[in-house]
Amino acid sequence: MNKEYMRQAIMTEPGRIEFRKVKSPGKLMPDEVLLEIKKIGICGSDIHVWHGKHPFTSYPIVQGHEYSGEVIAVGNNVTKVKPGNKATGRPQLVCGSCNPCKRGDYNVCENLKVQGFQANGCAQDYFVLPEDRVVKLPDNISYQDGAMVEPLAVGAHCSSRITELKGKNVVVFGAGTIGNIVSQFVKIKGASKILVSDIHKFRLQKAKECGIEYINNASEESFEEAIKRVFGDEGFQVAIEAAGAEKPIVNAVNHIENGSEIIILGVFDKPAGIHMSFVCEHELIIKGSMMYKHEDYLEAVDFLSRNLVNTKPLVSRMFDFEDYEKAYKYIDQKGSESLKIMMDINE
Ligand SMILES: [Zn+2]
Ligand SMILES: [Zn+2]
């Protein structure tokens, strides 16, 4: 690499992104990998930061945690990738010494910092990360799909939290990017009927385009009617809450088959009032699902390279790097009529 300076997009305060010319990364440590960033996805959490509503982010912050890039250089000890390879990386900075880390559950590290939120992300031309967080992308995965690996890994992890999927009927609440992806993952992993429930027609249409057969437009059809129509007497045995709202989780608790599992994936900004007597008397199991582990990234890459997941309908629009603010304004204006917005950095 010979460029001494690079562009960096820095959010100085909510609603303001400045472009700065900063020094490019210097000499690599033996375990480090240097990427030229190609694509960056914007997700719901980023949008909270843009609006100043993310509880655990302070400014200034360099965003960018869903990305793909080309390997430009590697440190002496790196074996996983070489210059010219496509790659992505996990944005999790973990302590390695808390109890969850020690037992391998670093996704729930007690001192977790996520790049783009509590540490700077990759919204710049070049980005350095250690080999252990790098994930190589096969050549048949585009840079656009490479930037989808992070949200896909959320789906991989969430689906792995479910004890048994084979033959189970599943309800997914929320048809945003994550709800859509999780629906695809539970389908690939052997679920029987999958019903996606949302109040936005556009998002439900995208779920259909991605191969999810059953949808419930909750603004037109009650949840009770929908589960009767789709499952009849079979009922449903798995529920995934990917909307972060009270009504869906109440519906899940009130209607799921006794002894079943409910996974919480949505971001709740306030407590939800569920009836604990159902949890008790129906022996419901309510589990959280937090981000992902490295193996979830590998599964996401595997499913992508085998064409098992369909991400094309999810990418609503691409913006040039220097139009970062425009991208957010577009997101604000489109609301639920768009899904993944991506930044094109160097492709
Ligand atoms: Zn994200
Ligand atoms: Zn830790």
Q: Are residues 284 and 332 both part of a single domain?
A: no
Distance 276 CA to ligand 1 centre (A): 31
- Longest alpha-carbon distance in the chain: 66
Distance 178 CA to ligand 1 centre (A): 9
CA distance 53 to 227: 35
Which ligand is in closest contact with the Cα of 148?
1
CA distance 346 to 123: 11
What is the mean predicted confidence (pLDDT) over 324-339?
95
Q: Residue 3: which pLDDT band, with cuts at 50, 70 and 90?
A: confident
Q: Are residues 142 and 45 both part of a single domain?
A: yes
Q: Are residues 229 and 115 both part of a single domain?
A: no
Instruction: Please say which residue of 243, 272, 288 terminates a domain.
Output: 288
Q: Which of 203, 207, 185 is nearest to 195 (CA)?
A: 207
Q: Are residues 336 and 274 both part of a single domain?
A: no
Please provide the average confidence, as pLDDT, over all residues in the chain. 97
pLDDT tens track for 146-166: 999 999 999 999 999 999 999
Q: Are residues 260 and 174 both part of a single domain?
A: yes
Looking at residue 269, what is its pLDDT? 84
Q: Are residues 127 and 185 both part of a single domain?
A: no
Distance 98 CA to ligand 2 centre (A): 4
Q: Are residues 19 and 121 both part of a single domain?
A: yes
CATH at residue 125: 3.90.180.10
> Does residue 30 register a pLDDT over 80?
yes
Looking at residue 347, what is its pLDDT? 84
Non-local (6+) Cβ contacts of 280 within 8 A are none
pLDDT tens track for 74-87: 999 999 999 999 99
Q: Which of 225, 227, 226 is nearest to 237 (CA)?
A: 227
Distance 58 CA to ligand 2 centre (A): 21
The residues that bridge with 128 in the sheet, in sequence order, are: 34
Distance 231 CA to ligand 1 centre (A): 32
CATH at residue 232: 3.40.50.720
pLDDT tens track for 177-233: 999 999 999 999 999 999 999 999 999 999 999 999 999 999 999 999 999 999 999
What is the domain extent for residue 86? 5-153+292-344
Q: At 13, phi and psi to the nearest 5?
A: -160, 165
| Torsion, Cα of 294, 296, 302, 306 (10° steps) | -160
Which ligand is in closest contact with the Cα of 101?
2
Non-local (6+) Cβ contacts of 220 within 8 A are none
Distance 151 CA to ligand 1 centre (A): 6
Non-local (6+) Cβ contacts of 89 within 8 A are 33, 35, 67, 129, 133, 134, 135
Q: Are residues 96 and 68 both part of a single domain?
A: yes
pLDDT tens track for 276-329: 999 999 999 999 999 999 999 999 999 999 999 999 999 999 999 999 999 999
Specify the long-range contacts of residues 22-31, CB closer than 8 Å, at least 24 apart. 22/124, 24/125, 24/126, 25/126, 25/127, 25/128, 28/73, 28/74, 28/75, 28/128, 29/75, 29/130, 30/75, 30/76, 30/77, 30/78, 31/75, 31/77, 31/78, 31/130, 31/131, 31/132
More confident residue, 240 or 55: 240
Number of domains in the chain: 2
Which ligand is in closest contact with the Cα of 114?
1
What is the mean predicted confidence (pLDDT) over 61-85?
98
CA 5 from centre of chain: 31
Which ligand is in closest contact with the Cα of 115?
1
CA 258 from centre of chain: 30
Q: At 115, phi and psi to the nearest 5?
A: -65, 135
Q: Residue 252: which pLDDT band, with cuts at 50, 70 and 90?
A: very high
Instruction: Please say which residue of 288, 309, 324 terminates a domain.
Output: 288
Which ligand is in closest contact with the Cα of 110?
2
Looking at residue 186, what is its pLDDT? 98
CA distance 64 to 45: 11
Q: At 80, phi and psi to the nearest 5?
A: -70, -40
Q: Are residues 284 and 307 both part of a single domain?
A: no
Distance 257 CA to ligand 1 centre (A): 31
Q: How large a percentage of the chain has pLDDT more than 70?
A: 99
Looking at residue 2, what is its pLDDT? 55
Identify each DSSP E strand in 176-314 by its residue range: 194-198, 214-217, 238-241, 261-264, 285-288
Distance 117 CA to ligand 2 centre (A): 17
Report which DSSP code applies to 321.
G
Q: Which of 148, 135, 119, 128 is nearest to 37 (CA)?
A: 128
Q: What's the sign of the alpha-carbon dihedral 284, 285, 288, 289? A: negative
Q: Are residues 94 and 131 both part of a single domain?
A: yes
Q: Are residues 42 and 13 both part of a single domain?
A: yes
3-state secondary structure of 100: helix
Contact 155, 184 (CB under 8 A): yes
Distance 225 CA to ligand 1 centre (A): 33
Q: Are residues 13 and 148 both part of a single domain?
A: yes
Q: Residue 41: which pLDDT band, with cuts at 50, 70 and 90?
A: very high
Contact 180, 203 (CB under 8 A): yes
Which ligand is in closest contact with the Cα of 99?
2
Q: Residue 298 corresponds to which tokens in the numbers above? A: 């590998």
Distance 50 CA to ligand 2 centre (A): 28
pLDDT tens track for 117-142: 999 999 999 999 999 999 999 999 99
